[in-house]
Amino acid sequence: MTETRTLTLNEIEDLSFRALVAAGTSPENARPLAVATAATEADGVASHGLAYIPIYCEHVQCGKVDGLAKPVMTRPKSGVVTVDAATGFAHSAIDLGYETLITAAREQGVAVLSICNSYNCGVLGYHTYRLAQAGLVGLGFTNAPASIAPSGGAKPVVGTNPFSVAVPGTDGQPALLIDQSASTIAKSEVMKHAREGRPIPVGWALDSEGNPTTDPNVGLKGSMAPSGGYKGVGVALLTEVMAAALTGATLGINASPFSGTAGGPPKTGQFFIAIDPVATSSSGGFAQGIEELVDAIRSQDDAHLPGDGRRAKRVASATQGVAVNIATLEKIEAILG
């Protein structure tokens, strides 16, 4: 049985912040990532939470990500905000552009945020969630190093490439939050199983010849299984267009891995669309439509909405804290010396 220790969300944020700074990250770059790490743990997505802090620190120290980077924002068009992450953490670049994005969307009805020369943005839904809190429909896309092969092929050409949609509710929280990768499971989950020496279920990954495997290490050398077969490949290609081609970021086939120390900065991208539903729908039409849709699902026994699980864990963790793997904590404490 895995040993754990319960930490508060403030303790998780503080621990993450101190480890990142100790590894050579500037305080202004470490804080957004630490806040996101605590929020990710609160949502129960442990694979993207504290478990990633030692990896982030290693990547700062080996130069895969510039912990001292200073992202640069520009406004080429009234509805377009661009940020060059300067090979630094995505979270800092996203934070730099978000307020301008939100303001532009409210003024014009729709606006986009394009980010290039970036790095792993963690849980994509964390970022679209914030747009929904601002009363906007948020769509997000982020590309990743190639790990999914095309239909009929065996060589990866696109990443797990998540997309996310967050829809505002009437209580200041998302009424609906979709956050899913193009693969059957996030690659970080396969990496987590490999670190822990546990087999993966059939259907998560394929070997180098395109055959199913339960060995996470074999899967990491092969390819991730696309969700829904060719439909998952289509989702990955859509995200590649949005997050890499439209932003001018590096394609997944040319990006260095998010894991390990091989290669330089991956220079991947993120793309966000913020839409003001008040501007696009008739009076009260949007809120009424979403309420009716949500009620149609909630009225069914045992039915649930995307994001329900995270919401429940978020509420509980605010008072109960989060159980964190002791082995992960020991790795982080070693960074702190």
Q: What are phi and psi of 263, to 5 degrees?
A: 80, 165
Give, as one character, the DSSP assignment of residue 65.
S
Pair 137, 168: CB distance under 8 Å? yes
The CA angle 5-6-9, to the nearest 5 degrees, is 135
Q: Pairing relation of β-strands 80-84 and 110-118?
A: parallel
* Residue 228 backbone class (left: φ over 0; alpha: ψ -120 to 50; beta: rest): left
Neighbours of 173 (CB within 10 A): 15
Neighbours of 25 (CB within 10 A): 27
Pair 169, 131: CB distance under 8 Å? no
Q: What are phi and psi of 185, to 5 degrees?
A: -145, 155
Pair 102, 136: CB distance under 8 Å? yes
Q: Mind giving me the DSSP string for 33-73?
A: HHHHHHHHHHTT-GGGTGGGHHHHHHHHHHTSS-TT---EE
For residue 6, the cross-strand partners are 323
The residues annotated with a catalytic role in the active site are 47-48, 189
For residue 120, give Cα distances in angstroms to 11, 200, 221, 231: 23, 23, 20, 24
Cα gap 139→176, rounded to integer Å: 12
